[in-house]
Amino acid sequence: MKKILSKIKLIYYYIISSIGFFPTLISVLFAALAILMVYLETKGISEGLHDRFPFLIITSGETAHTILNSIATGIISLIVFSFTMVMLVLNQAGSNFSPRVIPGLISHQSNQKILGIYLGTLIYSLIIMVNIRSESYYEELPGIAVFLSMAFTFVCLGCFVYFIHSISQSIQIDHILAGIHRITKKKLEQLIRQDKHLLVTKAFEEATWVELNSPRSGYVQSIDLESVLALCYKYDVVMEFLQPLGNYVLEATPFVRINRPVAELEEFCKELAAHVNYGQGELPDLNYLYGFKQITESAVKALSPSVNDPGTAMKAIDYLSELFALRMKLTDEQLVADKEKVVRIRFKQETFDHLFSLCLSSIRNYGKHDSLVMSRLLYMFKNLLYITIHFIHRRQILYKEALLLVHASRKSLSDPGDKEMINRHLKEINAMKVLAKDLPLLSLTD
Q: Greater confidence, 298 or 340?
A: 298
The more confident residue out of 42 and 296 is 296
- Whether residue 400 lies inside any domain: the answer is no
pLDDT recorded at residue 434 = 86
Q: Is residue 58 part of a domain?
A: yes
For position 135, what pLDDT does the model report? 46
Cα distance between the two ends of the chain: 71
| Span 424-436, average pLDDT | 88
CA 345, CA 340: separation in Å to the nearest integer? 13
Q: Which residue, 398, 181, 209, is CA-closest to 298? A: 181
Asked if the model's pLDDT at residue 103 lies above 70, the reply is no
Please state the φ and ψ torsions of residue 255, each to the nearest 5 degrees.
Answer: -130, -10
Q: Mean pLDDT over residues 59-75, rounded? A: 82
% of the chain exceeding 70 in pLDDT? 84
Most confident of 48-52, 278-282, 339-343, 358-362: 358-362
Round the average pLDDT of the chain to a whole number and report it: 82
Domain that holds residue 163: 15-171
> Model confidence at 3, in pLDDT bands (50, 70, 90)?
low
Q: What is the pLDDT of residues 299-338, one digit of tens each?
A: 888 888 877 888 888 999 999 999 999 998 888 778 888 7
Mean pLDDT across the stretch 20-48? Answer: 83
What would the pLDDT profile of 109-135 be if each residue is shown by its tens digit?
788 888 899 999 999 999 888 877 644
Query: For strand 343-348 and strand 239-241, is the pairing parallel, antiparallel, or unpaired?
Result: parallel
Asked if the structure places residue 211 within a domain, the reply is no
Residue pair 145/37 in contact (Cβ under 8 Å)? The answer is yes
Q: Per the domain annotation, does 80 fall within a domain?
A: yes
How many domains is the chain built from? 1
User: Can you tell me the distance from the alpha carbon of 222 to that of 243, in angstroms, rounded to the nearest whole number?
Assistant: 12
* 131-186 pLDDT per residue, tens: 776 444 445 567 788 888 989 999 999 999 998 888 877 777 788 888 889 989 99
Give the pLDDT score at 55. 62
Which is more confidently placed, 207 or 297? 297
Please report the pLDDT score of residue 134 as a whole number.
47
Give domain status of residue 275, yes or no: no
Average pLDDT over residues 432-436: 85
Residue 317 pLDDT: 93
CA distances from 85 to 77, 142, 303, 319 (A): 12, 35, 27, 29
Residue 86 maps to a domain: yes
Give 96's pLDDT tier (boundaries 50, 70, 90): low
pLDDT in tens, 255-265: 888 888 888 88
| Within-domain flag for 440 | no
Could you tell me which residue, 339 or 250, shows the higher pLDDT?
Answer: 250
Residue 346 pLDDT > 70: yes
Mind listing the pLDDT tens digit for each residue in 205-245?
Answer: 777 888 888 888 888 877 888 888 888 888 888 888 888 77
Distance of CA 375 to the CA centre of its chain: 30
101: pLDDT strictly greater than 70? no
pLDDT for the residue 417:
87
Instruction: Note whether residue 143 is domain-resident.
Output: yes
Supply the pLDDT for residue 153.
93
